[in-house]
Amino acid sequence: MKVIEILKLGREILKTLQESCIKVEDYKYIELYEQYLDIVRSGGKSSYAVAVLAERYGISERKVYYIVKKFSTDCTIGAVG
């Protein structure tokens, strides 16, 4: 399959992602965000969840906070962010 064929298949979703200021690479952090929610829902403190996930995923705590904030934000087409 050629690149153009894949782009044509996902054209509408890619357009929506771009208009919503969502980066395609963000898919990598879906599990991290879900794990963050699980820890917090089970009574863990936010700072604890961030520290655990930063260690688990090999990224900085600042990056985890950024991901949590971004994924918690309401999505609006054409939003700046």
pLDDT of 2 above 70? yes
Residue-number span of the structural domain to which 62 is assigned:
3-72
Residue 77, domain member (yes or no) = no
Residue 66, domain member (yes or no) = yes
DSSP symbols for the chain: --HHHHHHHTHHHHHHHHHTT--GGGGGGHHHHHHHHHHHHTT--HHHHHHHHHHHHT--HHHHHHHHHHHHSPP-TT---
Structurally, the chain folds into a number of domains equal to 1
**According to the model, what pLDDT value does residue 21 have?**
82
pLDDT of 3 above 80? yes
Residue 81, domain member (yes or no) = no
What's the pLDDT tens digit per position in 11-65?
A: 999 998 888 888 889 999 999 999 999 999 999 999 999 999 999 999 999 999 9
Residue 67, domain member (yes or no) = yes
**According to the model, what pLDDT value does residue 36 have?**
98
Residue 45, domain member (yes or no) = yes
Residue 64, domain member (yes or no) = yes
Residue 58, domain member (yes or no) = yes
